[in-house]
Chain A
Amino acid sequence: MSQVTGATGASTIHGHGHEHGHSPFLQHHFAEMEQQFDASKIGMWLFLVTEILLFGGLFVGFGIMQGKFPEAFYEAHHHLDWKLGALNTVVLLVSSYTMVMAVHSASKSNQKALIRYLVITLLCAAIFLVVKYFEYEHKIHDGLLPGKFYTYKGDHVPGGQQATFFSFYFMMTGLHGLHILGGMTVIGWVLKRAIAGHFNSSYYTPVDLVGLYWHLVDLIWIYLFPLLYLIS
């Protein structure tokens, strides 16, 4: 309950209709920008926690199934190309960097740099998806598909747990891929608004929040990469 001061801290003069340079983006039910910014940050972090728990459920399921069938999972992970995984990790880390630079330049009202960094971030995301496409295409070709579509014949460890591994592989990377797509559309929306000049040092909340979301997507990949690609 540390957050006690809340809205009352700063402002003494209150009430209706007291205009003193309100930004056009201040919504009617907030007293001033600081309160609106904090509220949106709380909302965003709560949303990020729900994402962490959503992916967390998958990670826990994967961890338990790996605990039950370690040899089958170790055997199955050889089909994954760790070099492509590492490349994707680097691509996402760079995109995180460019995203945070975008937020930084937005806070400095540097519109050109903001637009440049957002475009680079979008490009990195696109590269990530292209690499992902190659990985999937290779798996589909070999028949390493989830559940009942698993037609790969060369399993050494009996019992068919490789299919479970690939079920988890496709669910985790698939859900993550969907979140990347979601992230790209949202960055596109922020880019459109940046070009329209909506953001300056006193109001760049959307850029900040989209940045938080993008870093979370990168965070999930940081955990996905070692757990899926580098089982030893």
Chain B
Amino acid sequence: MSDHSTTAHHHPPAKLYAGVLAALLFLTVITVAASRVDFGSSSINVVIALAIATCKASLVILYFMHLRYDKPLNSLILLTGVLFLGVLLAFCLIDIDSRFPSRPSNLKVPIAAGAAAAGAGAAPGTAPAAGAPAAGTPAPAAAPSGGTQPAAAPTPSH
């Protein structure tokens, strides 16, 4: 019967935790500094911010949560969870970013909640959809409703 006292759970010396805390605080300072600098496009900034956050996160996971000294199954569980979160993000982005908002060429009446079938030239008479306020809605028709404007192509929503 193996001795099931603490040797079964390896614990690093206390000084290591202090070092990890110092590293984390330093990385926090770097995060704030990095957000000041503009690295070209906003997506690169987000990627860098996430990279720094992931460094901090992995420090916490490996040392504070003992994943480094634990049985490999626990890391497998964590990795699977994070992997499937990535699957959700990736497949949503595949769909939402690669969808081009098609625009009709002959659009005369902007598709806004308030502007259902306004008459050609007749009084604006917007009949707002059930319950929705007649206010100009953001997507995709930013242009005010009604009237005979030429093809008021709505600004694309994305």
Q: Consider the complex of A and B and state whether they touch directly, i.e. have CB atoms less than 8 Å apart.
A: yes
Residues of chain A whose beta carbon lies under 8 Å from any beta carbon of chain B? 2-3, 10-13, 20, 32-34, 37-38, 41-42, 45-46, 48-50, 52-53, 56-57, 60, 63-64, 67-68, 70, 74, 82, 86, 89-90, 93-94, 96-97, 99-101, 104, 107-108, 158-161, 201-202, 208, 211-212, 215-216, 218-219, 222-223, 225-227, 230-232
**Nearest residue in A to B24 (C-beta to C-beta)?**
A93
Given A49-B80, A101-B14, A230-B31, A90-B25 contact (CB < 8 Å):
yes
Verify B21–A97 contact, CB threshold 8 A.
yes
Verify A201–B1 contact, CB threshold 8 A.
no
Whether B152 is near chain A, meaning CB under 8 Å from some CB there, is no
Whether B73 is near chain A, meaning CB under 8 Å from some CB there, is yes
Chain A binding site: helix, strand, loop or mixed by DSSP? helix
Q: Which residues of A lie under 8 Å from residue B142 when comparing CB positions? A: 158-159
Q: Which of B88, B92, B138 contacts A158 (CB 8 A)?
A: B138
Whether B6 is near chain A, meaning CB under 8 Å from some CB there, is yes
Verify A230–B49 contact, CB threshold 8 A.
yes
Verify B31–A49 contact, CB threshold 8 A.
no
Q: Which residues of B lie under 8 Å from residue A3 when comparing CB positions? A: 71-73
Q: Which residues of B lie under 8 Å from residue A104 when comparing CB positions? A: 11, 14, 17
Whether B8 is near chain A, meaning CB under 8 Å from some CB there, is yes
By size class, the interface of chain B is 35 or more
**Nearest residue in A to B67 (C-beta to C-beta)?**
A45
CB distance from B10 to the nearest CB of A (A): 10
Complex interface residues of chain B between 57 and 93 (CB less than 8 A to chain A): 57, 60-61, 63-66, 70-74, 76-78, 80-82, 84-85, 88-89, 92-93
Verify A100–B17 contact, CB threshold 8 A.
yes
Q: Which residues of A lie under 8 Å from residue B4 when comparing CB positions? A: 10, 32-34, 202
**Nearest residue in B to A212 (C-beta to C-beta)?**
B65
Verify A93–B21 contact, CB threshold 8 A.
yes
Q: Which of B25, B36, B157 contacts A93 (CB 8 A)?
A: B25
Verify A226–B85 contact, CB threshold 8 A.
no
Verify A64–B85 contact, CB threshold 8 A.
no
Q: Which of A56, A93, A215 contacts B28 (CB 8 A)?
A: A93
Whether B50 is near chain A, meaning CB under 8 Å from some CB there, is yes
CB distance from A177 to the nearest CB of B (A): 19
Q: Which of B24, B32, B81, B92 contacts A60 (CB 8 A)?
A: B92
Q: Which residues of A lie under 8 Å from residue B53 when comparing CB positions? A: 222-223, 225-227
In the complex, what distance in Å separates the CA atom of A82 from the CA atom of B14? 32
Q: Which of B1, B63, B82 contacts A20 (CB 8 A)?
A: B1
Q: Which residues of B lie under 8 Å from residue A218 when comparing CB positions? A: 60
In the complex, what distance in Å separates the CA atom of A41 from the CA atom of B75? 11
In the complex, what distance in Å separates the CA atom of A60 from the CA atom of B90? 9
Q: Which residues of A lie under 8 Å from residue B42 when comparing CB positions? A: 70, 74, 231-232
CB distance from A127 to the nearest CB of B (A): 16
Which A-B residue pairs are the 5 nearest by beta carbons? A49-B81, A230-B35, A159-B138, A56-B85, A226-B49
Verify B96–A2 contact, CB threshold 8 A.
no
**Nearest residue in A to B6 (C-beta to C-beta)?**
A201
**Nearest residue in B to A216 (C-beta to C-beta)?**
B65
Given A90-B28, A158-B138, A230-B35, A63-B52 contact (CB < 8 Å):
no
